[in-house]
Amino acid sequence: MIIRILVVWYRLTPFLIAFLRDRRRWILVGPPRFLSDEAHRARAQKLTATIASLGPSFIKLAQVFGIRADIVTYGKTLGGGLPVGVVCGRKALMKRFRDDRPTDICFARGTFNSHPYVMAAMNEFLQRLETPELRDRYRDLDETWNGRVERLNQRLRDADLPVQVANLSTIWTTCYTRPSRYNWMLQYYLRAEGLALSWIGTGRFIFSLDYTDTDFDAVAERFLAAAEAMREDGWWWLDPATTNRSIRRRIVREMIARRF
For 72-103, write each residue's pLDDT tens digit.
777 766 776 777 778 888 888 888 888 888 77
pLDDT at 148 over 90: yes
The reported pLDDT for the residue numbered 63 is 53
Give the model's confidence band at 29: pLDDT under 50 very low, under 70 low, under 90 confident, else very high.
confident
**Does 37 map to a domain?**
yes
The reported pLDDT for the residue numbered 94 is 84
The reported pLDDT for the residue numbered 199 is 64
Length of the chain as a residue count: 260
pLDDT digits (tens, 9 = 90+) for 153-163: 999 999 999 99
Q: Are residue 39 and residue 96 in the same domain, yes or no? A: no
Give the model's confidence band at 229: pLDDT under 50 very low, under 70 low, under 90 confident, else very high.
very high
**Does 258 map to a domain?**
no
What phi and psi values does residue 176 have, to the nearest 5 degrees? -120, 135
How many Å apart are CA 16 and CA 21, to the nearest integer?
Answer: 9
Q: Name the pTM for this structure.
A: 0.62
Decide which of 183 and 7 is more confident.
183
Q: Are residue 161 and residue 221 in the same domain, yes or no? A: yes
pLDDT digits (tens, 9 = 90+) for 230-259: 999 999 998 888 888 898 898 899 998 888
**Does 241 map to a domain?**
no
**Does 151 map to a domain?**
yes
**Does 86 map to a domain?**
yes
Radius of gyration of the chain (CA): 23
Strand order through the sheet with 163-168: 163-168, 171-176, 204-206
pLDDT at 2 over 90: no
In this structure, are strands 204-206 and 86-89 parallel, antiparallel, or unpaired? unpaired
Give the model's confidence band at 164: pLDDT under 50 very low, under 70 low, under 90 confident, else very high.
very high
Q: Are residue 39 and residue 113 in the same domain, yes or no? A: no
Alpha-carbon dihedral sign for residues 97, 98, 100, 104: negative
The reported pLDDT for the residue numbered 160 is 95
- How many domains are contained in the chain? 3
Q: Are residue 99 and residue 46 in the same domain, yes or no? A: no
**Does 242 map to a domain?**
no
The reported pLDDT for the residue numbered 114 is 73
The reported pLDDT for the residue numbered 67 is 63
Q: Determine the distance from the C-alpha atom of residue 184 to the mean position of all C-alpha atoms in its chain, rounded to a whole number.
A: 18
Decide which of 18 and 189 is more confident.
189
Decide which of 1 and 187 is more confident.
187
The reported pLDDT for the residue numbered 36 is 85
**Does 183 map to a domain?**
yes
**Does 252 map to a domain?**
no
Give the residue numbers spanning the domain of 105: 71-138
The residue out of 19, 48, 64 marking a domain boundary is: 64
The reported pLDDT for the residue numbered 191 is 93
The residue out of 90, 123, 138 marking a domain boundary is: 138
End-to-end CA distance of the chain: 59
Q: Are residue 55 and residue 76 in the same domain, yes or no? A: no
Q: Are residue 177 and residue 189 in the same domain, yes or no? A: yes
Q: Are residue 145 and residue 223 in the same domain, yes or no? A: yes
Residues 6+ apart with CB under 8 A from 247: 179, 180, 181
Q: Are residue 226 and residue 148 in the same domain, yes or no? A: yes
CATH of the domain at 189: 3.90.1150.10
The residue out of 138, 156, 187 marking a domain boundary is: 138
Q: Exposed/middle/buried for 32, CB within 10 Å: 0-12, 13-18, 19+?
A: exposed
Q: Are residue 118 and residue 161 in the same domain, yes or no? A: no
Q: Are residue 58 and residue 79 in the same domain, yes or no? A: no
Q: Are residue 57 and residue 90 in the same domain, yes or no? A: no
Average pLDDT, the chain: 83
Torsion of CA 231, 235, 239, 244, to 10 degrees: -110
The reported pLDDT for the residue numbered 104 is 78
pLDDT digits (tens, 9 = 90+) for 32-69: 888 888 888 888 878 877 776 665 545 455 555 556 77
Q: Are residue 164 and residue 132 in the same domain, yes or no? A: no
